[in-house]
Amino acid sequence: MNRMAVISENFRIKRAMREENRKNRLTWKQDFKKHGPLYLMMAPYFFLYMLFFIVPILLAVWLSLTDYNIFQSPGFVGLKNYIAILAEDDIFYIALKNTLVFAVITGPVSYLLCFFVAWLINEMGNKLRVFLTCVFYAPTLASSVFFVWQFIFSGDSYGLINSFLMKLGLLEEPIQWLADVRFSLMVLIIAQIWTSLGTSFLAFIAGFKSVDPALYEAADIDGVRNRYQELIYITLPIMKPQLFFSAIMQIAASFSVSTISQTLLGFPSVKYAGHTLVLHIQDYGMIKFEMGYACGVAVILFVIMYVAKKLVDKLVGLLASD
């Protein structure tokens, strides 16, 4: 069957259904009259949601066009902040590079880890599965203890890694893991991956658990030979919704690194090796009080994250197509 024909047929059916829906839909007035109490139930949540999730984004966009400094009322300056950020701010580019390197490594690595560990765990017996779930989720539960990495990677010979490597004779001198530009970003990535088997990991475990076993049997009859084929042809397409959900969670986590860097590498870190966009925003907002400028950086970050989400959605859609 011609694939294109099927797609365009599906598209036509969907559009017809949408038009049908539109015709049967209530007008705004009828809707409010009929569902008034329901809207009342939604009101408190959505009031707070708008106030703390939508208003901040709009506020950032508006303030990024001004010279706001918290003491004086904002004056409109057009795109001046953006021009300053993009044309003159070298540290912005360091932060941008770090953020992207960080996201491009930790995002996919932790996403794949979540998926594969969940897949492997799913095959185990019930008790073992619960135990392993807790083991891998424990760092997220105890995320406030991440500062222990500071002691593990401590730069003197008291540091656990240094002393271990020196005992093995691999090192003569202790390495300044947290202050040496060659290593500090790597340490940060390790610490971040450590806490990254979070919500999406749980979503994957639950997703694998709820796949109907009869499908595997059917696949076996259809000639699926091993577990890996099973994963690609059966499980991935079924898990598509979980894949989308986890993508959002991982993008959110890998772009918003700040506290970990601040604690492990200090603020500002040596040669800005651990400087991320969130830290750049904090730097300009809290220390220099150039709120307009900082909001400009924030808006750039929002856009990057949104674009990343769109790209990843495309990718996941392609990977998990049936």
DSSP 37-52: HHHHHHHHHHHHHIII
Q: How far is the CB of 64 from another protein (least distance, A)?
A: 10
Q: Is the dihedral of CA 248, 228, 137, 193 positive or negative?
A: negative
Exactly one of 203, 264, 265, 273 binds another protein (CB under 8 A); that residue is: 203
Q: Does 56 bind another protein (CB under 8 A)?
A: yes
Exactly one of 12, 13, 53, 319 binds another protein (CB under 8 A); that residue is: 53
300-319 burial, b for 16+ CB within 10 Å, e for fewer? bbeebbeebbeebeeebeee
Q: Does 70 bind another protein (CB under 8 A)?
A: yes
Which helix (H) or strand (E) covers residue 295, if one does?
Answer: helix 291-319
**Distance separating alpha carbons of residues 43 and 45, to the nearest angstrom:** 6
Residue 208 or 272 having the CB closest to another protein: 208
Exactly one of 22, 23, 45, 127 binds another protein (CB under 8 A); that residue is: 45
Q: How far is the CB of 162 from another protein (least distance, A)?
A: 9
Structure tokens at 216: 């595997």
Q: By rule CB under 8 A, what count of residues binds another protein?
A: 113
Exactly one of 96, 185, 187, 249 binds another protein (CB under 8 A); that residue is: 249
Using CB under 8 A as the binding rule, the residues of this chain from 292 to 311 that contact another protein are 294-295, 298, 301-302, 305-306, 309
Neighbours of 165 (CB within 10 A): 16
Q: Which residues touch 86 (CB under 8 Å, ≥6 apart)?
A: 92
| Residue 153 and residue 161 in contact, taking contact as beta carbons nearer than 8 Å | yes
Closest listed residue to residue 293, CA positions, set 85, 137, 93, 32 = 85
Using CB under 8 A as the binding rule, the residues of this chain from 72 to 111 that contact another protein are none
Q: Does 13 bind another protein (CB under 8 A)?
A: no
Q: How far is the CB of 133 from another protein (least distance, A)?
A: 7
Which range in 3-11, 37-45, 85-93, 169-177 contacts another protein by CB under 8 A? 37-45
Using CB under 8 A as the binding rule, the residues of this chain from 112 to 171 that contact another protein are 113, 117, 120, 130, 132-145, 147-149, 151-152, 154, 157-160, 163, 166-167
Query: How many helices and strands (H and E) does the chain possess?
Result: 17, 0
- Per-residue string for binding with another protein, 168-197, x by CB under 8 A? --------------------------x--x
Using CB under 8 A as the binding rule, the residues of this chain from 212 to 241 that contact another protein are 213-214, 216-217, 219-220, 224-230, 239-241
Residue 180 or 259 having the CB closest to another protein: 259
| Residue 260 and residue 190 in contact, taking contact as beta carbons nearer than 8 Å | no
